[in-house]
Amino acid sequence: RVLRAILAMRMDRIAATRMAASVGQAFALWLGLVGLLYNPFLLFIALFVWIGAMAEAGSEEIRSLLHGNTLAHAVITHFESLSPHDSLTRAIQLTLDGVQKDFPVLQDGEIIGVLTQEDLLQGLHEQGAMATVREYMQTSIKQADINESLEAVMKRLQACNCRLLAVTRNGRLAGIINMDNILELLRIEAALKTGSRNFRG
């Protein structure tokens, strides 16, 4: 990080991070070679240096791709939902009909919970398909405003280990967001960035 800070004085942060990571990896390779020849313990140090350099570069790349993007860029507005009065049979049908695995539970247009795939399987194991969604849904669903930064929302999803967040606009439900959709946006942004560099080249 010290090297990155020095390099950042002469170039942008992303380029500085990439160069610092390359230097770190080169140092790790040299350290590994020395370890093979003289001291095997240095191999472990080299491994940690290599992993640290890769992790730092990856984190900075993600921050770069998410920079300037708000939740509005990744919010899922077309999704299936359940009623608390639905049986788990309905959840099975929706799961098999599409790719969605976790379902917000709505009542009078308001989100009151979420039924994850794990909740569904637990309910089927304990009571069978006729059990109700209300019996197995999670009621402590967290919310995020549609104008929040994607980087902040990604950190919140990781911190709370949530499968999805309810996205609100002016206090009303506007959609949902999960880690899969953020990662999909990252892949698209990375492809666009690579394509832009290739076009300029």
Encode pLDDT of 83-142 as tens digits: 999 999 999 999 999 888 999 999 988 889 999 999 999 999 999 999 999 999 999 888
Over the stretch 65-79, which tens digit does the pLDDT of each residue have?
Answer: 567 778 888 899 999
pTM: 0.63
Backbone angles phi, psi at 12, to 5 degrees: -70, 165
Q: Where are the beta strands (DSSP E) in 91-188?
A: 103-107, 110-115, 143-145, 165-169, 172-177
Residues 6+ apart with CB under 8 A from 8: 16
Four-residue CA torsion sign, 180, 157, 66, 62: negative
Residue 2 has pLDDT above 50, yes or no: no
Higher pLDDT, 14 or 83: 83
Rounded CA-CA distance 92/112 in Å is 20
